[in-house]
Chain A
Amino acid sequence: MEEFAVEFDAWAYDLRPRLPPEGLPREQVSAGRVYPPGYIDNLIQTARGAGIDMKRPPLIPNTRKAHEATEFAKDAGRLLPFHRTVYRAYWEAEENIGEAEVLCRLGAECGLDAAQLRNALTDGRHAERVEEQITWARSAGITGVPTFIFEEKFALVGAQEYEVFQDVARRVVERRGEG
């Protein structure tokens, strides 16, 4: 944000906990779901306005490994670029971000050591951390993503206008010291 120095962190959420490791076709996951007329088109238009060429990827992948890779990127000081790259890879390029090889290639594009990332995904060294984050989100009552937590005190849910973030940020800073 322009007027605040922001310390950004990303925590995992498991939006579809029953997905198999290989993921599932979108049409299967969405079977029976009815969207209001124009809902998807509006979503795509809104994304386009934010510079995102949003598609509807045919596969809904299991994201556990993507979250583990995110933790790896965090430890390597490359959280933001990796986080953004994975989102773009899925929603714009329709890549299978459930595959370790895809994640390693994306990681390399962000300056990560692909071989080390592959080892980390294979031995699952970040799996427990990801599980803890998902457990915390559930216990905190988070049901929608993205949810933005400001200084452990305020939650902002969903894609919001920049001005909303500004307003919340100002309020949070103003209330510092109030306990």
Chain B
Amino acid sequence: MESWVVGYDGDADVERHSGATEEAVAQNPELRIRAVSDYI
């Protein structure tokens, strides 16, 4: 049996297993922005 069936969570797992999710995240990952500021 394919390992992804363990803990199978519907279509999202299929996508994750096929690499579709990783690809989408890689195309538009979170942009890290740090605001250095003082309140005054």
Which residues does A use to contact B, with CB under 8 Å? 1, 4-16, 60-61, 63, 66-67, 86-87, 90, 97, 133, 137, 142, 145-152, 169, 172-173, 176
With a cutoff of 8 Å between Cβ atoms, the chain B residues found around residue A87 in the complex are 39
With a cutoff of 8 Å between Cβ atoms, the chain A residues found around residue B6 in the complex are none
Interface of A is mostly: mixed
- Contact, CB under 8 Å: B31 / A142: no
Once bound together, how far apart are the Cα atoms of A67 and B28, in whole Å?
Answer: 31
Q: How many residues of B contact A (CB 8 A)?
A: 13
Digitize B24-37: 1 where CB-to-A-CB distance is under 8 Å, 0 elsewhere. 00001111111111
Instruction: Sample 18 A-B pairs with CB under 8 A, ordered by A number.
Output: A4-B30, A5-B31, A6-B33, A7-B30, A7-B32, A8-B34, A9-B34, A12-B36, A12-B37, A63-B39, A90-B39, A97-B39, A145-B36, A145-B37, A149-B35, A149-B36, A150-B31, A150-B32
